[in-house]
Amino acid sequence: MQTNAATTIHVDYEINRRDLFRVNLDLDKWRLLIGLIVSALPVIAGAYFFMLIDEKEILLQLSPLLAGLPFVAMGGQVLRLHAACRKFVSALPESQRRIQYLFQLETDGFDLTHGESFSHVAWNDVSKAIEKPAYFVLYRNRFQATIVPKEGFHSRAEVPTLRSVLRAKLGQKAELLSE
């Protein structure tokens, strides 16, 4: 098959735990916010109860515990996420930390090389694509996503080309920035 250099995008990237953590934190920010709200509701209810029974002295004594509980609950989730990213990256052999993507307008999907493994993901298997300022996320389903960091592009001029490929192949399923 003959390829056109203008519609071929090659992304070469090495996974590191810092970038993986930032992406996962960005993707989970709404869950963390909901967790903070859910853990704050019993604290608010407890504070209201002590105000209702006019025990402001006990409320004042318990205030460090009541104020800190939601932040400890959310901080624990952030630390769990960081530990999972650290463990994932450290468990990968050096050869599997390098990921390469090949996007072409003429094909029915994109190619992914992960270590010594190769796979082809059809555009029909991509349920949606989302562009963030630092990366693209290509969802295959609710639980499986491929992250394509923009720093892995050979040149910044390829980013608009990938946008046009995603728009052409995914249509309304592509939520892209308008840069």
> At residue 2, does pLDDT exceed 50?
no
Please report where in the chains the tokens 């052409």 appear, as a residue: 168
> At residue 178, does pLDDT exceed 80?
no
Cβ(103)–Cβ(117) below 8 Å: no
Question: What is the pTM (predicted TM-score) of this model?
Answer: 0.74
Smallest Cα–Cα separation from 19: which of 160, 147, 173, 166? 147
Instruction: Tell me what pLDDT residue 64 has.
Output: 85
> At residue 1, does pLDDT exceed 60?
no
Beta 174-175 vs 128-131: how paired, if at all?
parallel
Secondary structure of residue 80 in the 3-state scheme: helix
Please report where in the chains the tokens 């209810």 appear, as a residue: 45
Instruction: Tell me what pLDDT residue 179 has.
Output: 63
Alpha helices in the chain (DSSP H): 17-27, 29-52, 56-91, 158-170
Domains of the chain by start residue, with CATH: 8-14+94-175 (2.30.29.30), 21-91 (no CATH)
Residues pairing with 12 in the sheet = 100
Radius of gyration of the chain from its Cα atoms, rounded to whole angstroms: 22
Helix axes 56-91, 29-52, angle to 10 degrees: 160
Identity of the residue numbered 32: L
Per residue in 108-149, pLDDT (tens digit) is 999 999 888 899 999 999 999 999 998 999 999 888 888 899
